[in-house]
Amino acid sequence: MKQSLLLKLFTLLLATVFAVSVKASEATGNGRDAAGELASVLKSYKSFQADFIQIVVNERGHHVQETRGSLKAKRPGLFYWETSAPLSQFVVSDGDTVEVYDPDLEQVTVHTLDERVQTTPALLLSGEVGNLDETYKVSRRSIGDHTREFTLEPRSPDSLFVSLRLTFFDGELQEMRMKDSLSQLSVLSFDQIRLNQPVDSNAFTLEYPEGVDIIRDGA
C-alpha cells in the first residue's frame, strides 16, 4: 500500500515544526495572543525524541491506515522520522531540504523548504511565524491545569488542509491532528517523549541503496 498524500504532507509539516528558527519565534512579540504563545512553546524545544502511532481516519470515521515509528528532532532544523513495515518510510531534514525515502517505491523525493513555504500553506511553521495571524486563524483552549490545545485554520481557500490541532501536556507536544478538504483526518500520537535531551547530530542522516530514483521539486 502506498503512503497517502495526507501522510506525506503530514510528515513534511512535522519536519518543519522543528525547523522553526529562534529568530522567527522571537518575532511574535509579547506572546499574549494564541499565535505568539504557540511560537513561544516551540521556541523552547531544543530537541525532541519520541515514538509515535499515526492513524488515518476517513470521512465516515473508519480507520483506513495505521503506522508506527519513531522520530528525532534537534535545532537548528535537524529532523529524522522512521516508520515500520509494512508502510516503511524515512524522512530527514537539514533545515533547508527534506528528503523522503519510500523503500517500497525505491524512490527518494527531495523538497526545498523555502519553495514549499511559498506554495504550501501546510508548511506554516518553517520560519515566518511572526505573521501567523495573517495566514491562519489561531485559537487556543485549556483543558484543566496542564493541557493546552492550539488550532490553526487556513484563511486561504486553496490550502491543502482544513485544520491542524496541536495538543500539549505540561509543555510537551502529545498529539497532532490534521484534517484535509475531504474530511480525512490524520492523528499522530506521541509516546516515550524525551524533551531537550542530548541527540548526536550523526543521527540525522539518510542512507538508501544505489539506483533508487531521486526526484527533486521543480525538476
Domains of the chain: 5-216 (2.50.20.10)
Would you state the pLDDT for residue 131? 60
**Global pTM?**
0.77
CA dist 191 and 66 (Å) reads: 15
Residue 112 sits at φ, ψ, to 5 deg, of -90, 120
CA dist 129 and 131 (Å) reads: 5
Residue 46 sits at φ, ψ, to 5 deg, of -85, -35
N- to C-terminal Cα separation, the chain: 26
C-alpha cell at 61: 470515521
Q: Are 195 and 87 in contact (CB under 8 A)?
A: no
Would you state the pLDDT for residue 189? 94
Q: Are 217 and 100 in contact (CB under 8 A)?
A: no
Task: Give every CB contact of residue 145 below 8 A, 6+ residues apart in sequence.
Answer: none
Q: Each residue's pLDDT tens digit in the chain (219 positions)?
A: 445 555 556 666 666 566 543 333 343 333 358 888 887 777 777 888 999 998 989 888 888 888 899 988 887 778 888 988 778 889 888 877 888 899 989 999 888 765 444 334 333 333 344 566 777 788 999 999 999 999 988 887 777 778 889 899 998 889 989 888 888 898 989 999 999 999 888 888 888 888 899 998 765
Residue burial 164-191, b: 16+ Cβ < 10 Å; e: rest: bbbbbeeebbbebbbbbeeebbbbbebe
Would you state the pLDDT for residue 26? 41
Would you state the pLDDT for residue 4? 52
